[in-house]
Amino acid sequence: MNSAEPLREVLDGLRRQHWEEVEVFHKKGRSRTMQVSPYGDTTSLRQEEGWAVRAGDRRRSFYYAASGPPRAVAWPEADGIGLRLPSARPGPHWSPPSTLDAPLIGEGEARGFFSGLAKELDREMPGAKLLSGYLDDGSSDSQLVSSREIQVRVQHRVASLHLEAVGPTATTPSIALDIADHDARRFSPAALARRLADLLLVSEKGSARPRDRGEFILAPPVAAGLLAALGDLWIGPEAEERSTALIDRNGRIGSPALTIIDDGRLPGGVLEAPYDGEGQPTRSVTLVEEGSFRQPLLAWWQTTSNLKRSSGCSLRPGWRDLPIPGSTHLYLQPDPSIRAVSLIQSLSRGYYLIGLAGPPRIEPDFTRFAAPVSGFAITSGQPTGTVARAWLVGSVSTFLSGIVAKARDLTFSAVGGGMVGSPTVLAKGLELRQ
C-alpha cells in the first residue's frame, strides 16, 4: 500500500461528507535518549505515531487528533469558526541530507561520548566535572494531504544536547550549554570541552566590572541570543510597524553590516526541509538587508494580498500541534572574508563576551535591552581579565546600528522551536554594567 493511501482514504471520506476544506496530517517518529548524572545513567528508546485532521468551510470547522495510523472515526461536532487552507504551490528541487538515513546513536556510543567529554573537560580544566548531560537523537517522517491538492512528505533528523558542568572549586557556579545538530555523532567532545572550560573560567575567575563603555566582541551565542530576543521586530504582521520606530535619518534600522535572513531549506541546517507544516514551499527570505528593513517573516495566511511575501514558515513540531508561524533558521549573515580571531586582535580596549547567563531582557517598546553576560576584558587584542555577573545594556537601535563587522564563523543555537544563528560580531556604542 502506498504510504499516503490511508491519508487519502480519510481525506476522500470527509469530502464525501461535503466538507470543502480538508487536511490530513500524519507523523511517525523515533528517538533514543541518554541522561547521565551523579545519580546514575538512564537510556530509553521511544517511538510515536499520530495524525490530525482539520476540516471545515467558511462557516464552521473541527479539529481532531489521535495516536496511531489515520483511520475513519466519529468526527467531533464543528464549531462556528470557518476554515481556509492553502493551495498547493510548487517548490524548487530539494536534495535531502545524507544524515536522514543514518541509524540512531547506540547506547554504547552515547556512553562513550559522555565519557570522552568528561575526560576532555578535565584535560582542559583539571578538576572540572560534567554534572549532567542529556542527549536526544531522533528522526521523524511527516506526510500531509489536503483538498487543495497538497501532497507532501517531510523528513527530519535532529540531535539535541544539554550539558551542565562545574569548575574545580566550590565557589564556581555551574554553567549550561545547549546545542543541536543533524546527527549526534557530529558532536565533538574536544570542541565542547573547550567551550565548557571557557565558560567555567570566566564564571570562576570573573568579577563584576564598574560601568564601562568600549568596543564589544560578541561571540555567536551572545549575538544569536540578542537576535532571538528581538524576533518580534522581524517576525509576524506587526513587525513592520515595530521596526518603523527604529528607522534613522538614512532610512535604516541598522548598520550596513546588518543583514538578517530566515531560510527553511538552509543547506546543512538542522531543520532543513522542502515544505513547512502546511505544505508550503520553504525558501530563503531576506528580512533586513544592509540595515534596511525589507519584509517581515510571514506565513501564507498572514499575507492577505501578496503570497509572494509568504515565507513557508508554519511550524508543526508534533502531530498534536496546530500550525503556528515561526522562524526555522534565522541568522545574521556572516562575512566570509573575516576570521573571528582577527576581530579580537583588532580590539584596542574592550570586551570579548562569550556567554549569556540568562535570556536578554527587552523593553516592551523595543527601546532598550539588557543581557546578562560573561567574558574577557581585552587590551591591545589580548585578554587582561575576566568578566562575570555583568550586564550588557543599551538601546536596541544603538545595538543594530553599532554592528560594524562580522566574522565568518556562523554558529546556530536552538531557541524555542527553531534555530537562531550569528557569527562573531564587533559592536560599538554599548555599555557594561554591574
Among 74, 51, 76, 72, smallest CA distance to 63 is for 76
Q: Rounded distance, CA 111 to CA 144, Å?
A: 37
pLDDT computed for residue 308 by the predictor: 62
Whether residue 174 sits in one domain with residue 38: yes
pLDDT computed for residue 311 by the predictor: 85
Whether residue 428 sits in one domain with residue 311: yes
What is the b/e burial string over 339-350, where b = at least 16 CB atoms within 10 angstroms of the residue's CB? ebeebbebbeeb
Whether residue 323 sits in one domain with residue 392: yes
pLDDT computed for residue 210 by the predictor: 64
Greatest Cα pair distance, the chain, in angstroms, is 75
Whether residue 186 sits in one domain with residue 88: yes
pLDDT computed for residue 69 by the predictor: 95
pLDDT digits (tens, 9 = 90+) for 333-344: 999 999 999 999
Question: Domain end: 205, 220, 239, which one?
Answer: 205
Whether residue 226 sits in one domain with residue 162: no
- Phi-psi category of residue 290: left, alpha or beta, with phi > 0 → left and psi -120 to 50 → alpha: left
Mean pLDDT by 10 residues, the chain (434 residues): 85 96 97 94 95 96 96 94 93 82 92 96 95 96 96 93 91 85 93 92 69 89 95 91 90 96 93 94 95 93 72 91 93 96 92 92 94 92 88 95 96 86 96 89
Question: Domain end: 205, 225, 254, which one?
Answer: 205
pLDDT computed for residue 304 by the predictor: 67
Whether residue 168 sits in one domain with residue 119: yes
pLDDT computed for residue 97 by the predictor: 81
Whether residue 281 sits in one domain with residue 179: no
Domain span holding position 248: 212-433
pLDDT digits (tens, 9 = 90+) for 348-400: 999 999 999 889 999 998 999 999 999 999 999 998 888 888 999 999 999 99
For the chain, how many structural domains are there in total? 2
pLDDT computed for residue 414 by the predictor: 84
Whether residue 241 sits in one domain with residue 385: yes
Question: Domain end: 164, 186, 205, which one?
Answer: 205
Q: Rounded distance, CA 419 to CA 141, Å?
A: 20
Antiparallel, parallel or unpaired: β 215-218 and 349-356: parallel
Whether residue 39 sits in one domain with residue 150: yes
Say what angle helices 107-124 and 189-205 make with each other, to 10 degrees: 40
Across the beta sheet with 61-67, what order do the strands follow?
Answer: 61-67, 40-56, 21-37, 129-146, 151-166, 175-181
Cβ–Cβ < 8 Å for 331, 225 = no
Whether residue 267 sits in one domain with residue 223: yes
Whether residue 241 sits in one domain with residue 156: no
pLDDT computed for residue 306 by the predictor: 60
Q: What is the pTM of this model?
A: 0.92
What's the CATH code of the domain at 83? Answer: 3.30.2290.10
Whether residue 36 sits in one domain with residue 179: yes
Q: Rounded distance, CA 204 to CA 239, Å?
A: 40
